[in-house]
Structure 1
């Protein structure tokens, strides 16, 4: 079943009588599992109040281009990065024309220009306006740019006319929004993804770990599921819920993670090593809690197995993707790592930037493969994950 579990849907509501249907649309999107935030044009506020949509969405409604409450005073950029899908419903003839022309005159049109996520429009207008040649050209232009168009319906309109132009029903719009993420790019493929940190025990109560939240790996799992893959997560300790359609293997240490991966990869087509695996582990795990005593404590560490290099070295082996989370020289290090470990693709990101590093909901990265690379500008991790899965699908579909 199509779903929007944990997807970030930015709902744009423009000034038409169908704006009242936005209330039901929010409910439908939430029933599909989506997180919903709302942007309203001034015209929309004449038909339905921001307070109504705030109460339903559970978030403040955004109406102003320059938002003093925004984290950096750049509300439109923050909203654009947050969204996994920008859905405008109703989309009036005026909004459609402005989007077609690339104009940024208010918050909604500016967000649309700045948003890297897919755009979906649910047109709503008088039947003659819908039939107008200018509207037809604008719709065709947006469709050619990749916008998803839902509706309109044909029927009786608020003005008394009968014809095409009624906004599609909220249930149909929500279903269409969910279908955006069901790509089928990896239909029938088996994917194993590692995620989160590992914990290397020092004694029964202490361990060494890192700041990885697992959000990127879990977003990749959702994207792989959406692409039709049979997906298994091998996850270190995180506070996240795995996609319902994905298998989950919980592990703690690097050695446990390697064993789980080796058990799964014989039947695997694609292996994505997104986990932040500890490079070293204590040589001795004390059986009792280490007591505070001496001014100095010396520990000896052993090098952990290199999981992604081990999987890449198998014969036969799956299409193997690594991650390079670095603070300096990110691209150069990533290219060297890809070559040293025999990877098919590597995703490099700068974790020194707190806006996109560990625990952030956003990310920016560069995907690198033999003969090519692609920058993935800052967006939600779900958006970045979908792009990475798309790039992987493109690579495995190429002959040879």
Structure 2
């Protein structure tokens, strides 16, 4: 899920060290530039054995730097000029040798020299370093590499990955570079304010499915997109996030722990023991209010029947109200998906379930869509999100809502 030009105006230095994963870096450049970033590529001599500077120049739209003695710079100091004004340095792929150079502060090629020369101390003008390891599984597991990784993290770098899977050498294990889409998501997350750092957030998303027989059931049109966006935004804000998802076919946001459920009772069973261990509970899921009282063992057949079958309904547990009534409850945020009288219904839900915040939206107008318009309702009043009453993509709204929640729980955290 993307919200368009997420990196508009950002200047990123992308470093490539030697490794077959360089082929993924071409797609990463495309994703970064498509999101509005200006990408300046720096390649080591080894990287040029796997992909050409011509390719990276064509994709980035900028000349590629490969030599610390590059005379194109008026002062012949590419390692200085590249990082001044840059928003981040991303090394993808970062080989074992590259990580060792970073750990030991070596500066004998342009990429390591550039990393050493970047502004890293004061917050103002600081240029973060993001490192995406890529190497054979044995190289990754070697104690020397693990020591070097621990050192670069201690020095302030952010290590992205690695992934586990098939490797170019034919072996299988840890050491694969993250896929370009995953790296892109991590880079975007690195730029988000960490308003929920140290917090734990529990989110429910999607519909529930209440079985009538082995093949039929009661459900609704919720796509889960808003809840998944909130989970991603909370993780971007520094929180440890658990996502309890109904039956939806959406990819799990990076870094989020996912628990799949089907029915309302299963969702309650997943949420209730976890809720006291979290600081925030966001009940985005569209939970079915009713379920059949009994489940038919076999598919209900229509052959020879003149009348449609009937069945009794019983009320499902109220997950939000149950969590809100816990003695050690988290900060609870409810969602109200309505078809009419949004404010009245949202305020009634706020009071009935005794929660501090309810977020309303017109469900039929937004189910399945990538955009939405929200109404924030609390005891003091209400206001639209976005503020101008228009619509926005769900990830943008999720980030705004996460900032809203963070501001509300801050006094309780002090």
- TM-score normalised to the size of structure 2? 0.58
The 8 Å contact of residues 342 and 362 in structure 2, kept in 1 or not, is answered as: yes
What runs of 5+ residues in structure 1 fail to find an aligned partner?
Answer: 1-5, 22-26, 41-51, 58-88, 91-154
Give me the whole-angstrom Cα distance separating, in 1, the residues matched to 2:361 and 2:312.
Answer: 30
CA contact (8 A) 2:6 2:188 kept: no
- Asked if 1:384 is matched to 2:397, the reply is yes
3-state secondary structure, aligned to 2:373 = strand
- For the Cα contact (< 8 Å) 2:7–2:32, is it kept in 1? no
The answer as to 2:198 corresponding to 1:203 is no
Distance in structure 2 (CA, Å) of the matches to 1:341 and 1:33? 47
Aligned-pair CA distance for 1:295: 3.2
Aligned CA distance change for structure 1 residues 177 and 298 (closer, same or farther; 3 Å): closer
Q: Within 5 A, what are the aligned runs for 1:1-400?
A: 6-10=1-5, 31=28, 37=34, 168=86, 171=90, 177-181=188-192, 183-292=193-302, 293-353=305-365, 357-377=366-386, 378-398=391-411
Tell me, which stretches of 5 or more residues in structure 2 are unaligned? 15-23, 38-54, 63-68, 92-126, 131-186
Contact 1:219/1:382, CA 8 A, preserved across alignment: yes
- 1:39, CA displacement in angstroms? 7.8
| Number of aligned residue pairs | 284
Q: Quick one: higher RCO (CA 8 Å, sep 6+), 1 or 2?
A: 1
Higher mean alpha-carbon deviation, 170-179 vs 274-283, is at 170-179
Alpha-carbon distance in 1 for matches of 2:208, 2:277: 24
- Counterparts of 2:71 and 2:6 in 1: how far apart (Å)? 23
Q: Give the root-mean-square deviation of aligned CA atoms.
A: 4.1
1:178–1:320 CA distance, 2 compared to 1 (3 A): closer
**Deviation of the 1:8 alpha carbon:** 3.9
1:193-245 alpha-carbon deviations (Å, 9 max, x no partner): 11111000011111111111111111111111111111111111110111231
- 1:184 is displaced (CA, Å) by 1.9
Aligned to 2:96: none
Counterpart CA distance in 1 for 2:89 and 2:224 is 33
- CA-CA distance at 1:266 after TM superposition: 2.2
Quote the Cα distance in structure 2 between the aligned partners of 1:199 and 1:188. 34
Q: Is the 8 A contact 2:7 2:188 kept in 1?
A: no
C-alpha contact 2:3 2:396 (8 A) present in aligned 1:
no
TM-score, length basis structure 1: 0.60
Distance in 1, Cα, partners of 2:33 & 2:368: 21
Answer with 1 or 2: which has the greater Rg. Answer: 2
Matched position secondary structure for 1:396 = helix
Distance 1:34 1:347 in 2: 32
Once residues 308 and 326 of structure 2 are traced to their aligned partners in structure 1, the CA distance between those partners, rounded to angstroms, is: 43
Shift of 1:161: 7.7
- Compute the displacement of 1:160 (Å): 5.4
Contact 2:29 2:59 in 1 (8 A): no
- Please identify, of 320-329 and 27-36, the stretch whose mean Cα deviation from structure 2 is larger: 27-36
2-structure distance, mates of 1:398, 1:391: 13
Q: Is the 8 A contact 1:196 1:214 kept in 2?
A: yes
Distance, in Å, in 2 between the alignment partners of 1:250 and 1:344 is 27
